Amino acid sequence: MRRKGFLGALLIALAATALFIGCSKKEQTIKIGFNIPLTGDNPMVGEGSKNAGDIVLKALKAQGGLTVKGQKYPVEFIYVDNELKAESAVQAALRLIEQDKVLAVVGPQGSGRAIPAGQVNNDNRTPMISAWSTNPDTTLNRPYVFRACFLDPFQAPVAAKFAKEQFNVTKTAILYNLEDDYSKTLAELYRDSWQAANGPGSVVVFDSFGQRDQDFSAQLTRIVNSGAEMLYLPVYYNFVALIVPQAKDLGWNKPIMGADAWGSADLVPLSKGSVAGYYFTTHYAAAGAVGKTKEFIDEYNASYGYIPDDVAALTYDAVNIVLQAIQNAGLSGDLQKDRNAIKDAMAALRNYDGITGKMNFNVQGDPEKDAVVVRISEAGEFVYVTSLQP
């Protein structure tokens, strides 16, 4: 009995501390929520987003807050973990909206979380901007939901067109992650545009693997022996680092084309240079960047010891878009009125000059911007090749 009492007391004490951590209240602050995956399968995505947020916050602290219509307001960023789960992302969104009473939410980053959380944000009339979700459904018919990146239906066709011209081939193989909607969508769109350009039968292998697979030898054996002249690999960088060396071990020596999920600082160290010479479509090129982009890269590198990846750069843009919209809209003190005003201000932004390019939001809240193709150099840098227009 005594033990039970002790345990009970322990639990209550824990709950109390947790509550205490959870509810820190301040007056007259601009609160922005981050709905990001700090745990789960891809914690790097969350880490990059959080680091980008911290850099913005540090700059704001140095200025003494955000100046809105001539008045300085302190700014607070609230990072909430969504564990890379859909249901958790919904809870996190509700927590930020109802409990923390944020003005706007940045994230979730991946489409699997951004689609349901976008619904919640739209229903509760709180502006949300996903930095990285490339699926059209995220913003479709949701006036309160925006994004900072281009869409899959744009990325896949331009990648197919580029690959066709660059490698001068007609037969392609595609390997994608079945359990990842991002990867699956890109793979299907690429297949369709490749077949439209090269006729039926030009996609010789269209194969997949599972989220936690580590051995791809059976799929790769099929691809190597299929007569494919190139491989399209729209998968996350951690899979790239496993797949490319395994493909080479099985005798693959033809070009490989990747997508924006390759664009991580970890790609080259993880694959130990085996990706050198391959191309991928992405949002920005870190190597050879100039101006604001370079400043951000340098500061990030100095603070965290590595070159920021896409998701960090896009999050940086996303946060700044929100801050810009707040500055344009002004603050009235009434939460719902401010949220509506911020939404309108975001939709009205014209030629916003972000570090990942110039952006205009269209009716759906999607930016119109260019995709960049980079080549991975022998030194492991992402070298700018060309920009592709929609």
Partner 1 sequence: MLTTFLQNVFNALQWGSFYSMIALGYCLVYGVLRLINFAHGDIFMTACYIAFFIATALLGAFSGGGVFVFALTLLLTMGATALVGITIERIAYRPLRMKGVNRLYVVITALMVGFILENGNLAFLGASARRFPDVIEKHIWQFGPVVLTNLKVLVILAAFAVFGLLQFIVQKTVLGMSMRAISYDKFAIPLMGIPVNRVITFTFALGSGLAAVAGILFGMSYPVLDPYMGMIIGWKAFIAAVVGGIGDIKGAFIGGFILGFIEIFITAVFPSSFKDLISFVILLIILVLKPTGFFGVARSTKI
Partner 2 sequence: MALSPDIKTKQKTQLQIILAIVIGMAVVVFLAAIGVLNQYIQTVIMSIGINIIFASSLNIVNGYMGEFSCGHGGFMAVGAYVSSVLSLLLFTENKFIGHPLLPPQTALFLFPVVIIIGGFAAALAGLLVAIPSFKTRDDYLAIITIAANYIIMTAINNIPAVGASRGLMGMKGTVFAMSDLIPLPWMLIWIMVFVVVCVVAIKRLMGSVLGKGISAIRYDEISAEIMSVNTNQMKLLAFMFSSGLAGVAGGLFAHMLGFVNPSSFNIMKSTEGMVMVYLGGMGSLSGSVLSAVLFTFLLELLRPLQILKWVFIPLLLILLMQFRPEGLMGNRELPEVWAKLKLSFRGGKGNGISSGN
Binding site for partner 2 (CB under 8 A): 1, 3-4, 7, 11, 14-15, 18-19, 21-22, 38-39, 43, 79-81, 85-87, 90-92, 94-95, 97-99, 112, 115-116, 119, 123-124, 135, 137, 178-181, 184-185, 211
Q: Which does 44 bind (CB under 5 to 8 A by kind): partner 1, partner 2, none?
A: partner 1
In angstroms, what CA-CA distances link 71 with 28, 64, 207, 340? 11, 11, 57, 20
Residue 98 or 249: which CB sits closer to partner 1?
A: 249
Residues in the chain: 390
Q: Which of 238, 301, 327, 377 binds partner 1 (CB under 8 A)?
A: 238
Contact (Cβ atoms closer than 8 angstroms) between residue 36 and residue 114: no
Q: Which of 94, 270, 276, 383 binds partner 1 (CB under 8 A)?
A: 270
The CA distance from 53 to 313, in Å, is 10
Residue 99 or 217: which CB sits closer to partner 1?
A: 217
Tell me the closest approach of the beta carbon of residue 88 to partner 2, in angstroms.
9
User: Which residue's structure tokens are 């809105």?
Assistant: 68
Instruction: Count Cβ neighbours within 10 Å for each residue of 221-260 and write b for 16 or more, e otherwise.
Output: eebbeeebbbbbbbbbbbbbbbbbebbeeeebebbbbbbb
Q: Which does 127 bind (CB under 5 to 8 A by kind): partner 1, partner 2, none?
A: none
Q: What is the DSSP string of 3-34?
A: HHHHHHHHHHHHHHHHHHHH----SS-EEEEE
Per CB under 8 A, 44 contacts partner 1: yes
* Rama region for 125: left / alpha / beta (φ>0; ψ in -120 to 50; rest): left
Tell me the closest approach of the beta carbon of residue 235 to partner 2, in angstroms.
13
The CA distance from 221 to 30, in Å, is 55
Residue 95 or 222: which CB sits closer to partner 2?
A: 95
Per CB under 8 A, 46 contacts partner 1: yes
Residues in contact with partner 1 by CB under 8 A are: 38-39, 41, 43-44, 46-47, 178, 207-210, 212, 214-215, 217-219, 221-222, 225, 238, 241-242, 245-246, 249-251, 266, 269-272
